[in-house]
Structure formats: structure tokens, C-alpha cells
Structure 1
Amino acid sequence: MEETKDVEHGDKVIARIDQWPTRHLNAEGTIVEILGKDGEPAVDIKSIIHQFKLPFEFNKNTIAEARDFQEPISPAEIGTRVDLRDELIITIDPEGAKDFDDAISLKKDKKGNWLLGVHIADVSYYVNEDSSIDKEARKRGTSVYLPGTVIPMLPEVLSNGICSLKEGEERLTKSIFFTYSEDGRLVNSEIKHTVINVKKRFTYNLATKILMESDEDDTDPITTLLLEAGKLAKLLYKIRMEEGALELNLPEINIKVGEDGKIDTIEKTTRDISHIIIEEFMIAANQATAMFMHQKNLPSVNRSHPEPEEDEMHDFAEFIFNFKNKRVDPFNKKNYRPS
């Protein structure tokens, strides 16, 4: 506990209320932590953490469990999995990404079908049910991203270590293997326990640059993979739209923070072909996983999107008419696609 005498004018503090205010008495409390000067970047982040009661520290049991994880992966465990360490597998992530959850591979068979692999870090191998790490992760629910920092759902040894699909390092994964026909129709899919070694890490900007500047005559295997991934992703996107998917292409803002903790730049992220590749392949992986769990009667968590109120839909249709002088059937999703 810090003494009140250490507080200076303009400091932001955390206080414990000892006496709530009444009609005749002011509130009284005890300062338990001095965050720093109001307006300083680090202080603002601390204030948000305390305001929303974000769990920014792991308890002793969780930290102790995390220390037990060892690298490298044991040969015995590798022997139980499909070994993909020699396969050409890449990651594509934002420039400032600290951990890498997913990777992709792609090639064609003799019939011209696409063979897509989506490889997800196998966190469940390390986190046992009802362990301290599991309980802490359930309580947190997700990692929380703030400008220049992140409050992870899992200890860093996992989130930024052995569960991060880093270039050139062996990692345990769960892989979904897809076979798509030349016109982008799903032929089949299966899920396997695997071990991979990512051959190349790409940022979205770098992947897009290669895709824009390369052509079909390029013989580099990684460039070929990216070009084929772009073709397949466009087909999958086109099929989703034809089936009535609703595309909300909302702008994303990227805040870059300098070493002093202050904002350097605020940039609008452009959704380009490299983003579409990852989006389409991850949507496919989610759909295949959901179908697998449904078929196996496995418990799962999913969002519920109830049907909108009928009156609200008619109000929306009237708004569209007033805005574009165009009548639409509000219950037909295809009417919401851009023309």
C-alpha cells in the first residue's frame, strides 16, 4: 500500500473506498496504487486495465504450470502425428503480429484439384482440462489487444512461444485438409493431428506485393503457392457470395505506437488479396470444424444470430427505397450484395 504523501498533483491513482459519501460527509478512501501522471500513455493503458478489471497478471499456479513445458517436441509425440515438417507451409499475418496461430499449405493433385491445408496451433496438447492454465484461460475468454500491448489469454511461454507457429521451428498443430475441384467446389475434408515446420513468414503487405508483381512464369515454389492461393480464395469468395453470404467490408484502423508509448501513426488498413486468402481459408476451416463437431455430437460454443424483427426489416426496406429509390425484398439476403 502506498502512502498518500507520495501522491502529486495530476497523478492518477487507484483508491479503496473506506467510507461512502452521505448527505453530511464526503467519501473517504485509501490510495492503494499510484498509476502515474494523468495523460501519459502508459498510465492510460493502466487505467483501462483497472477500469474494466482486466486480469493482467497470471496467478502463481498458472505460472508454475507454464514453466513445465519443454522444447523440443518429443520424438514419441511426433511419431503419433502426420509429419508435415518437409511440406511447404507459410504464415501470413499483420506486420506487428507477436504470435502466429495459423498457417497454410496448397498444391495440386494430378487431376487438377486443389489440396489445401489449414494448420492451427494445437494448444490443447499443452493445456489439460481443469488445469490452472485452462481455468485461467476460461476466465479470460480471449486475449485483449490495446495500442502497443496485449493482455494474453495464455502465458507468454505458450501464446508467444511453443504455440506460436514461428518460421523454422517445429510446432504441433491440428490440420484441416481440403480437396477442392478446379472450379472451387469442396470435394472432401478431413482433420488430423500434425507436426509442421513453417518455411516462410509473410506479412500481409509483403504477400500482396509478391502477388501484384509476380506472374505465372515465376518458378519459385513460394510465389507459386501464393498465386494459387489467390486464385482459390477468389473462387471460394465468389461461391460464398452466390450462396447468400453478406459481406461487411468495414474499414479497419491500425494504431502504431512508438517506443515512448505515444501514437506514431494511425493508418487505415486496406483489405487486399492477401487478407482475402486468409479470411477465406479460415472460414473454410471453421465450417469444416463445425461440421465435424456436429457429426460427432461434440459440445461446442457458437454464436446465435436470431432472425431480426419483421417490422425492423420493413423499416430497413423503406429506408433503402428513400435512399436509392429502389424497392427490395428485405428477407432476401442476395439483395444486400453490392451491385
Structure 2
Amino acid sequence: MKIRKGGEMARILVAGGAGFIGSHLVRRLLVQGHEVVCVDNLSTGFLSNLEDVLGFPQFHFVEADISEPLDVAFDAAFNLACPASPPHYQRLALETIEACTLGVRNLLSAALRQGAQLVHASTSEVYGDPEVHPQPEQYHGNVGTLTERACYDEGKRLAETLCYEYHKRGCSVRIARLFNTYGPFMHRDDGRVVSNFIVSALSGRPLTVYGDGSQTRSFCFVSDTVEALLRLMALPAVHLPVFNLGNPREMKVIDLARLVLHLTGSDAPIHFLPPAAADPGRRRPCIERARRALDWQPRVSLETGLQETIGYFREVLQVAGDGFEAASFVACP
């Protein structure tokens, strides 16, 4: 799915493009022939995620924070600029709130001023600990304001409200609610369950499960997420489009741990800890809207995606030094 401006390839801004999903999106856009401007403050992203494209003439990197005024011309923009893993957004709580408010408003203002399209990456966290299952886009959520997750959950909810207000003022904006994307270029210490389990299994350390592991999640491989984001950008935005983007296959966390142990061939034990505060009990997206309007559904099975992610982390763990460096993995277009 290509984005065109007047029949020509577009100049596309990817905010947060040095992060996990953003770096995959940057590659896909470059393969399609677009000029790509990546804006990232590198608080949770890494230039090493983009090492293989830094020399491309149509790629430009700007180290900047979207919470500050930004003077960049673009035809379309994807906003993925926000810490997304619990350890990161809890450590950077105020910065997370600023990215979701000041940052989103800056991008929306720039898009409106330039007549550009914008896809804003929201999250399934806007549903909180849902009382409706699976979660359709019409569900308003069950979220608390006074929790360790609130900087992210409520920040993303307010970001959607900003999108709503700017859409009323003529901004061509779309909202993507992402559900548990995983794959290569996740940070090995980012605290999300897939990377935690894989790194622990490959290192022979216990896999930590909070509670009894009966809580469920739905995991979507990154190439499927990127494809959905591109299709969403190409969708006309007469009404404010809001889409769940995720894999409707639901899995218990304990079953994910056992699957990772099986696929890695690890004999690492599973270690149980008390339940995490405000941890949602169930998550599963209803994606009927995306199936109908975007002609999209996930194509990569969990087993296949995990095998590719395990291969990536095998390389990561072989890299010398104390800091994280991306392995020599190149995402397929």
C-alpha cells in the first residue's frame, strides 16, 4: 500500500522512527520509494535500529523531541513517538505525558497547517482493564487515573481527544489502537512480556510470570502492524477513522511462556510473582472494522513470528558490551 501526493511519492515524517515499530515502518516506506524524515529524541529509540538505512539519500534523521516546536515539511506523518513499555513510561512518566499532549498537538498543528495526513498510533491501553470482551472500537474503556500506568493510558486517551478536536478543525487524522506488537528490534530490556520471556529463556534465567499467568493478551507481529498502518494512511478520512490493529488470537501469559520455552529449547524454570498492579486481566481486539474497511488481518502466525524474534535475540545476546546494540537483522519489505 503506497502513499502518493499528486501522483508522486510522498515526503513522510515518522515520529519515533528509531524505535521498535518505527524502524520497521521507516524501512518499508524507503522500499516503496518515499523520502522519509525520522524524528526521534532517542530516549527509548536507538540509531542502531536504523544503521542499515542511515546512508540512504532519501532518508533524513532529526534528533528532536516532538514536545518542542518542530519545523519540518511533510506530506504525511506517522506518530509513534512515545515510550511504550511499562518500565520506560514509568521511568519517563512526565515525558510520556508531554509526548501524548504537547507532542501530539505539535504534530496535529503541523499537519493541519501543511494540509498533510497523519496516522496517530494509540494503544489498547485506552481500554484499561476491559469489562467488554473482545474490545470493539466503540468501547469507552475501564481506566484509572491514579495508577503507575496512568501516564501512558490516560496520556493516550487524551491524545485521541486531541485528534478528535483537530479533525473537527479540518485535520486529516486517523487513529490506530495497537495491541501488543512484537518482533525484531524490541529492546531486550524493555519489560514487555515477549522480549522478557525470550531473553530469559535464551539466557537460562527464570521466566517471570505475574499472578498465575491466566491473564490473556493478543500478539501481533510487527510486519502485520506496519501493513495495517500503511493501509490506514491510504484510507479516506471523511469521518475520524479509529481502528483496532492487532491479532485476535488470544493467549494466556502462562501458555506464551511455555511456547517460548518450547521454541527456544530452553529448560529455564517459570517463576511466579504476585500480580502486577493495574494489570489488565484480558485483552483481545475486535478487528472486524479493519477487515472490512482496510481489507486487513494478521498473516503471520504467533509461532512463526516468535521464531523470527527468537532468532533476532540470539544475535543480540551475542553482541559484546554492556549496552544494547541492534543485531544485524534487516526487516523484509
TM-score, normalisation: structure 1: 0.23
- Larger relative contact order (Cα-Cα within 8 Å, sequence gap ≥ 6): 2
Q: If each structure's strand is expressed as a fraction of its own residues, which one has the higher value?
A: 1
TM-score, normalisation: structure 2: 0.23
Greater Rg, structure 1 or structure 2? 1
